[in-house]
Structure 1
């Protein structure tokens, strides 16, 4: 499966690095190296300056990436992205073709603005929950939950919740055993939803 992670200037570093590590580690420990192909996509494919002046070279831009089976939209300082019609159109189009769509932290705002979400349950970082409720009153915003799984759309809280959600995705796509094995290899204590 192709796991495409959308990144942009001022994206939160662990919002994309955490899921990237989960899927690349899962592929490594599965014994089937090609089970996941995980890659970063930006609008142009040029270097992105994430939070803290962290420079990242995406694998692809909008015009040259492979098909995406699982689309992950990350959080960060996302407000400029909300104003980019090309970005919102790309997210909407990729979401139609992907088997699963996920967001980490404020990435949910991009999904909402791109009209990928309608009236389902979602979550985001605790600090952004009031703003999400105000901006998109049609959504049922859940707090005190690491991630919310609404079948084809899964949203999560910030940073470490994105790692937990990514392990949940491995469990959902492959097996709980592979997710547990991945967490163990990462020396990460997987916090599951209750």
Structure 2
């Protein structure tokens, strides 16, 4: 979180995408978490996040038959992308989006380009469930770790391989995790096992899929953070989550990272939800 927001407690600006036949909980899970978060739970005026919905039309029908109303159009969202600190992309009916190269794929790509052009500002991209496939198609996951709903591991690997071959880019390590975070904004510290943001399963081996080289997690003490502009995508934090409910876990992680761990834990308590943590990979290069 920037020093300015820490001092002023200004809401973090969030844009959540919508598309026809998207999964309702992919959308509602992160929304529930973010709208609960407050800098001061005794003061309802200190909300930590300000959320805007973008859709292809004023009304969007989810796969569950619920109609949601968009605040802005995709045309307007493209013009205003610089305003948003966090872009949340729900999944659902991903094959149709990929086949037609429909929104939100171009918005996702545009957001990464905004960050690369302006690396001084901290921005985050969260893909929930099958939305990881949108990022893969756009080549955003090259050189990173990623996850997706378990039924789509192979599809994600293929999309990432196709993007790497097309762009002559780096491979992506598809990991069997609740969520995977790249380009984190904080120092992991001397003892990664004690870091509250990172869940370790006590395993000796890799969580990467068979045939994929696991990305190294450094547990060394680091003296200096890598400059944002030298990191992938201008240092934008990129998060992919597993199945639908995993979007809640990833969103709690974001609250812990962007607001505080105490606030994230309080949100989980209010929701009576047991937070299952994922992993942070390559937060700092040495």
Q: Quick check: TM above 0.5?
A: yes
Residue 178 of structure 2 corresponds to 146
> In 1, Cα distance between the equivalents of 2:278 and 2:97?
29
- Structure 2: gaps spanning 5 or more residues: 1-11, 116-122, 162-170, 184-236, 280-286
Higher helix share: 1
Does the residue aligned with 2:64 lie in a helix, a strand or coil?
helix
The residue aligned with 1:97 is 114
| CA–CA separation in structure 1 for the residues paired with 2:69 and 2:255 | 25
- Indicate the RMSD between aligned Cα atoms, in angstroms: 1.9
Provide the rounded CA distance (Å) in 2 between the counterparts of 1:80 and 1:71: 21
> Which residue of structure 2 lines up, in the alignment, with residue 7 of structure 1?
18
State whether residues 71 and 95 of structure 1, in contact with CA within 8 Å, keep that contact through their aligned partners in structure 2. Answer: no
Cα distance in 2 for residues equivalent to 1:87 and 1:124: 17
Query: Could you say which residue in structure 1 is the equivalent of 2:246?
Result: 161
SS in structure 2 at match of 1:33: coil
Match of 1:70 in 2: 86
> Is the partner of 2:73 in helix, strand or coil?
coil
Kindly tell me: are residues 29 and 126 of structure 1, through their superposed partners in 2, closer, same or farther at Cα, counting changes over 3 Å? farther
Q: 1:89: Cα distance to partner?
A: 2.4
Structure (1 or 2) with the larger CA radius of gyration: 2
Q: Report the CA distance between 1:50 and its aligned residue.
A: 0.8
Unaligned runs of 5+ in 1: none
In structure 2, the CA distance between the partners of 1:163 and 1:115, relative to structure 1 (3 Å rule), is same
> Closer, same or farther in 2 for the Cα pair 1:86/1:16, shift >3 Å?
closer
| Corresponding position of 1:187 | 272
Q: Distance in 2 between matches of 1:146 and 1:104?
A: 11
Are the counterparts in 1 of residues 35 and 49 from structure 2 also a CA contact under 8 Å?
Answer: yes
Task: After the TM superposition, list the runs of 4 or more consecutive aligned residues in structure 1 that deviate by more than 6 angstroms.
Answer: none
What does residue 222 of structure 2 align with? none
Q: Show the counterpart of 1:36.
A: 49
Number of matched pairs: 192
CA distance in 2, matches of 1:7, 1:86: 9
**Is the 2:38–2:263 Cα contact (8 Å) retained in structure 1?**
no
Structure 1 residues 29 and 64, CA gap change in structure 2 (3 angstroms): farther
Shift of 1:119: 2.1
TM normalised by structure 2 equals 0.63
Cα gap change, 1:42 to 1:80, in 2 (>3 Å): same
TM-score (norm 1): 0.90
| Partner of residue 56 from structure 1, selected from 38, 63, 68 | 68
| Counterpart Cα distance in 2 of 1:175 and 1:28 | 8
CA deviations 1:21-42 (Å, max 9, x no partner) are: 1000013864453421012211
